[in-house]
Amino acid sequence: MGRKVKFDLVTRMKWCNHCEKWLSFDEFSDCKSTASGKEAYCRPCHSGYNEKFRAYNPHYARAYNYGLSAPDYEAMVKEQGGCCALCGKRKKLCVDHNHITGKVRGLLCKPCNVMLGRFNDDPTMFQKVINYLNAEFALLV
């Protein structure tokens, strides 16, 4: 007995494995690794599955994006005293990483993380800011 065909290229219909209905190809996201070129679940089912999974595992994004488990993250928070590695304030902490190597550098509050991102992690930009502020300070003295 052969495998059940779950799509029809002529009618452009595909079977959703979750809601168990035949739907238009337009209801599915693209997926290069399948014979149909579409995901196994329709968009609403796929979205619902992801929301359910993320609710079950709140550390999903850290693990997926940075390879950082919940115990690893908690150890970093403890090591930094629950504070941002740059400004030292106690705020909700984001994972800061090197965009070239992908290596996690530390935990930052959102304003500090955004600042690094806006300057593209370029030390010369930070030196320009320091020079700018020092020049203004010199005028005040």
Domains in the chain, please, with CATH?
12-54 (3.30.60.130), 57-140 (3.40.1800.10)
Query: Which of these, 114, 81, 79, lies nearest to 96 by C-alpha position?
Result: 114
What is the CB neighbour count within 10 angstroms for residue 40? 16
Rg (CA), the chain: 24
pLDDT of 1: 43
pLDDT tens per residue across span 17-65: 888 889 999 999 898 888 888 888 899 887 776 666 666 566 777 877 8
Q: Which segments within the chain are labelled E, that is strand?
A: 7-8, 13-15, 22-24, 93-97, 104-109
pLDDT per residue over 59-104, tens digit each? 777 877 888 888 999 999 999 999 999 999 998 899 999 888 889 9
In the chain, the amino acid numbered 121 is D
pTM for this structure? Answer: 0.56
